[in-house]
Amino acid sequence: MPRILVVEDEVDISTSLSYSLKAIGYEVQVAERGEAALENVASFRPDLVLLDVMLPDISGFDVCRRIRANPGGVQPAVIMLTAKSQELSRVAGFEVGADDYVTKPFSIRELVLRIDARLKARRPVAEPGPAAQPAELERVKVGPLEIDRAEHRVFVNGEEIRVSPLEMRLLLFLVRTPGKMRSRKELLTEVWGYHPEVSSRTLDTHVKRIRDKFGASGDLIQTVRGVGYRLAVRGEPGTQKTGTTTPARKG
């Protein structure tokens, strides 16, 4: 079963979370301090971290930043837990690499649904085309954007850009159909794993972060106002996949 690390210094909350998650079937460890959490990430290797923002030694933001700064191994999903509901706090969490944000007090049922969505989103994005060979999908290039799936690396104009696992998943989903608009509902369902009826500003925040990282090439991800997003083709000859060339789509 998936492994979950609960990082929470309030004993009542951590005990309740641990009991509820173990009852469902998850393997759970608890850490009450940020430094202990970082040690547990290395030893326990959780699939997901429930991370409180207010910790007694270092902030949850710093813990998340240090998790994302570690290039070794598979990155866990991170859900931030906080009593703060201001948008600034949510944005700060996403900026350091959090995948989701839950405000206290929360229901265990809602939290479990979000955990399931994050774990589902860790699965690789299915690539279209039954005739596609794995070797053809390891490296993909659209205009100045180049993605190496095997090594989890992204390049823009030849310069490497660090991205989180969720940002990589979003880029891979968009790069499958360059030039085609993907609706907000479609992206939230396929990339985040949310129920189709759930609306969230998480998508907008992650797109903004990717654009900021892309710098002058941030307009590669275009907004279709009120509908969704598309990966711009910019008149390039097409999407190249390890030596193959596909004609670019118009529009």
Span 169-226, pLDDT tens digits: 889 889 888 888 888 888 877 787 665 555 567 788 888 889 988 988 888 999 988 8
Confidence of residue 246 (pLDDT cuts 50, 70, 90): very low
- Give, to the nearest 10 degrees, the angle between helix 108-121 and helix 11-24: 60
- Beta partners for residue 52, in sequence order: 81
Q: What is the crossing angle of helices 87-95 and 202-214, to 10°?
A: 50
**Pair (92, 146) in one structural domain:** no
Higher pLDDT, 28 or 235: 28
Q: For residues 100 and 115, give the distance between their C-alpha atoms in angstroms, rounded to a whole number.
A: 9
Lookup result for tokens 């409180």 = 52
Domain of residue 219 covers: 134-247
- The residue among 194, 192, 181 whose CA lies nearest residue 226 is 181
Residue 129 counted as domain residue = no
| 173 and 109 within one domain | no
The string of pLDDT tens digits covering residues 69-103 is 876 666 899 998 887 665 556 667 777 888 888 88
pLDDT of residue 195: 57
What's the rounded Cα separation, in Å, for the pair 138 and 151? 9
Q: What is the rounded distance in angstroms from the CA atom of residue 66 to the CA atom of residue 71?
A: 10
Q: In terms of domains, do 107 and 22 share one? A: yes
CATH number at residue 162: 1.10.10.10
- The reply to whether 73 falls in a domain is yes
**Domain assignment of residue 172, yes or no:** yes
Whether residue 73 sits in one domain with residue 100: yes
Question: What pLDDT, on the 0 to 100 scale, is given for residue 98?
Answer: 86
CATH number at residue 26: 3.40.50.2300
More confident residue, 123 or 110: 110
* Total of domains in the chain: 2
Backbone torsions φ then ψ of 159, nearest 5 degrees = -100, 130
Among the candidates 71, 89, 121, a domain finishes at: 121
- Res 200: pLDDT: 65
Across 26-30, average pLDDT: 95
Whether residues 12 and 69 fall in one domain: yes
Residue 127 inside a domain? The answer is no
Q: Is the pTM of this model over 0.75?
A: no
Q: What local confidence, expressed as pLDDT, does residue 134 receive?
A: 38
What are the pLDDT digits (tens) for 31-49?
999 999 999 998 999 999 9
- Are 53 and 42 contacting, i.e. CB atoms less than 8 angstroms apart? no
Average pLDDT for residues 16-40, to the nearest whole number? 93
Select from 92, 121, 150 the last residue of a domain.
121
What CA–CA distance (Å, rounded) separates 150 from 74? Answer: 12
Tokens of 68: 């994302």
Q: How many angstroms separate the CA atoms of 65 and 35, rounded?
A: 13
Looking at every residue in the chain, the average pLDDT score rounds to 79
pLDDT-derived band at 136, boundaries 50, 70, 90:
very low
What percentage of the chain carries pLDDT values higher than 90?
23
Q: Is pLDDT above 50 for 131?
A: no
Domain assignment of residue 154, yes or no = yes
Distance separating the N- and C-terminal Cα atoms of the chain: 44
Last residue of a domain, one of 89, 121, 153: 121
